[in-house]
Amino acid sequence: MANTTQIEAHSVGKMFGDFHALRDVSLDIKEGEFLSLLGPSGSGKTTFLTMLGGYQNLTSGKLLLEGQDMTNWSAKQRGFGMVFQGYALFPHLSVAENIAFPLKVKKWSKAQMSARVDQMIEMVGLSGHAHKKPKALSGGQQQRVALARALAYEPKVLLLDEPFSALDKNLRGQMQEELRRLHRDLGTTFVFVTHDQEEALALSTHVAIFNQGALQQIGTPSEVYEHPANRFTAEFLGDINIMSLDAEKGGVAGTKIDLPTNASAFDHIALRPEHMRLAGETDVNKLPVTVRDMVYLGSKSRLVLETKAGEELMFYIDNGPGLPPPDLGAGLHVAWDTGDSFAL
Amino acid sequence: MRPYLLLICPVLLFLGASYLLPFLGIVQLSFTDPDPGFAQYGHVLSDPLSLGVIGRTLRLCLIVTVVSVTSAYVITLLWVRGSPLVRMITELCIMIPFWISILSRAFGWLSMLSNRGLLNTWLQDLGLIDSAIQMTRNEFAVVVGMSHYLIPFAVFPLATAMRNVDERVLTAADGMGASRLRIFWQVYLPMTASGIMGATLLVFVFSIGFYVTPALLGGGQSVLVAELIYLWIFQIPQWGMAAAMSVVLMIAVGGILYLLIRRYEDVTP
């Protein structure tokens, strides 16, 4: 089942007045996938999610569900589960009543309904809270209710709009774990909007990166992180060091460097900080740099290094036993393997 | 004593002098005039006339409250959720009555509803009725006049509640497949319950003290408590009875308020 395409978007576009909220987005979502829509605010990711759910109309393009054209289907016809930003729980109903609401609409029998509600409450770990109103619950608990309500009628697809944005960091991590577990256990397709790249990389099987209404890249987390398709993706995901190539494209900042094969067609090379190391005797790519700043982060320290061309690089060193940290203004050599760098 | 308490002293003094003292005077009057003791209360609470008036007042005020709050709910829905044009028109309809005095409005309804009024004349001219329908000097006219006055007041608490409704909750309900009817009855209405409660409170308490409108439109046919108190003060001077009736009224309103406010806290989301 893991390989059947469930949802296809073909050149989907959305205009608000003459503003392109979304332009020409095409992507496939496979059954059972956990797809994160990642991008800065205003990138169109939430617009795309609400259009998938049927809460907004497309201006152009079409959407297919299991091969059928669902472009003009309403949200209820699509029947996807949705977890809204801010949860959108019914404030006047208890936890159990909130979860039962969609089942009541779908005319489940009393017995089936109460069994299912109990099961969902159990599943999201809210036993003992069934009769509380949402306002008596913490943010994390409300989030669980929203999840349980959206999953209660076993939708084929669950859409989540920045579900964790209101939670503090620890709770966020915990909820992410639970979401992964739910996804593993249920096998439902999850489409998840977030602006937090770590969250996207940690949770999903696939990540789609949006910027200014356009899809930049889609792939597995390691694909998009290690082989970014363009400068935006490279800079948006994690830390990246970008260095201008010298005019004759033989190196960086006056030092000859072994460049990736296609570098001659580009002006920059990029490199993740974790692929850099302090240069040793045998290293080929050795770049002289000066330490400009150092930030202590606990287990590691972040150094800001400056090349001879005046460009800043980010570099992490472990704060273990070993070499003492370098002084500000000290000169160092950093090195990397050519295969870890890429031209942009 | 905290220094800021000093700042509210003038207000407290003013309220004390203008409300509390006269009120204590009334309480005193109710226990002393003409006989010391509970005789006045005994009379007010046993005399069939005054009991009838209290009963009628409560019944009419309840009807007025239901009519006002229900109409105001519909009007507020238009005001809060209508198209821009509908909103503007509704807003005018809510605001304009505030600029017209209660007396003019009562006379307005009189000229509309009386036997030779606009409505009866039109209906007769159109041949729909043979002789005028009695629409004034009765409870119907009082309910119409009072509701008309009170609806704009009910609009504001309702509007506050409706504006606080999170649109996403309605979207969520719609996405789960709930019909518009179900969304209204099971989601929107309960979510605006605090506004309904507030409007009910305001209108009910307000309506109990009405004097001009029932006096003009009721034409003496439907004597309400305020009119009876007036009668006891200005026409058959029995100030002790009037005072006792005022105190009874106040306690009744206070009790109802207390009950409603307790309930209000339950429904506030």
Confidence of residue B76 (pLDDT cuts 50, 70, 90): very high
Strand A81-83 relative to strand A157-161: parallel, antiparallel, unpaired? parallel
User: Do the chains contact at B177 and A102, CB–CB below 8 Å?
Assistant: yes
Q: Which residues of A touch B188 (CB under 8 A)?
A: none
User: Do the chains contact at A101 and B178, CB–CB below 8 Å?
Assistant: yes
pLDDT of residue B182: 95
pLDDT of residue B266: 67
Amino acid identity, position B59: R
Which domains are delineated in chain B?
A: 38-101+141-267 (1.10.3720.10)
Residue B269, min C-alpha distance to chain A (Å): 6
Q: Which residues of A touch B (CB under 8 A)?
A: 53-55, 75-76, 79-80, 82, 84-86, 88-93, 101-102, 105-106, 135
pLDDT of residue A174: 86
Directed axis angle between helix A110-123 and helix A95-105, to 10°? Answer: 130
Residue B259, min C-alpha distance to chain A (Å): 20
In B, minimum Cα distance to A89 occurs at B169
In A, minimum Cα distance to B181 occurs at A105
Residues contacting residue B88 through CB under 8 Å, at least 6 positions apart: none
Write the burial class of residue A79 (CB in 10 Å: 0-12 exposed, 13-18 middle, 19+ buried): buried
CA B194 to CA B263: how far, in whole Å? 9
User: Do the chains contact at B168 and A86, CB–CB below 8 Å?
Assistant: yes
Q: Which residues of B touch A89 (CB under 8 A)?
A: 169
In A, minimum Cα distance to B167 occurs at A88
Quick check: B164 contacting A, CB < 8 Å? no
What digits encode the pLDDT tens for the residues B10-39?
898 999 999 999 999 999 999 998 888 899
Please report where in the chains the tokens 């010391």 appear, as a residue: B36
Q: What CATH architecture applies to the domain A245-343?
A: Beta Barrel (2.40)
Share of chain B above pLDDT 70, in %: 97
Residue B43, min C-alpha distance to chain A (Å): 46
Quick check: B165 contacting A, CB < 8 Å? no
pLDDT (tens place) for every residue of chain A, 344 residues total: 457 899 999 999 999 988 989 999 999 999 999 999 999 988 999 999 999 999 999 999 999 999 999 999 999 899 999 999 889 999 999 999 999 999 999 999 999 999 999 999 998 889 999 999 999 999 889 999 999 999 998 899 999 999 888 788 888 888 888 899 999 999 899 999 998 888 899 899 999 999 999 999 999 999 999 888 888 998 888 888 988 888 777 788 888 888 887 777 888 888 888 888 888 778 888 888 999 998 888 888 889 999 888 888 999 888 877 667 778 888 888 888 888 888 88
What digits encode the pLDDT tens for the residues B168-213?
999 999 999 999 999 999 999 999 999 999 999 899 989 998 988 8
User: What residue ranges do the domains of chain A occupy?
Assistant: 5-234, 245-343
Quick check: B168 contacting A, CB < 8 Å? yes
CATH superfamily ID and name for A5-234 = P-loop containing nucleotide triphosphate hydrolases (3.40.50.300)
What digits encode the pLDDT tens for the residues B152-168?
999 999 999 999 999 99
Directed axis angle between helix B48-81 and helix B193-208, to 10°? Answer: 140
Q: Which residues of B touch A90 (CB under 8 A)?
A: 169, 173, 187, 190-191
In the 3-class helix/strand/coil scheme, how is chain A assigned residue by residue?
CCCCEEEEEEEEEEEECCEEEEEEEEEEEECCCEEEEECCCCCCHHHHHHHHHCCCCCCEEEEEECCEECCCCCHHHHCCEEEECCECCCCCCCHHHHHHHHHHHCCCCHHHHHHHHHHHHHHCCCCCCCCCCHHHCCHHHHHHHHHHHHHCCCCCEEEEECCCCCCCHHHHHHHHHHHHHHHHHHCCEEEEEECCHHHHHHHCCEEEEEECCEEEEEECHHHHHHCCCCHHHHHHCCCCEEEEECCCCCEECCEECCCCHHHHHCCEEEECHHHCEECCCCCCEEEEEEEEEEEECCCEEEEEEEECCCCEEEEEEECCCCCCCCCCCCEEEEEECHHHCEEC
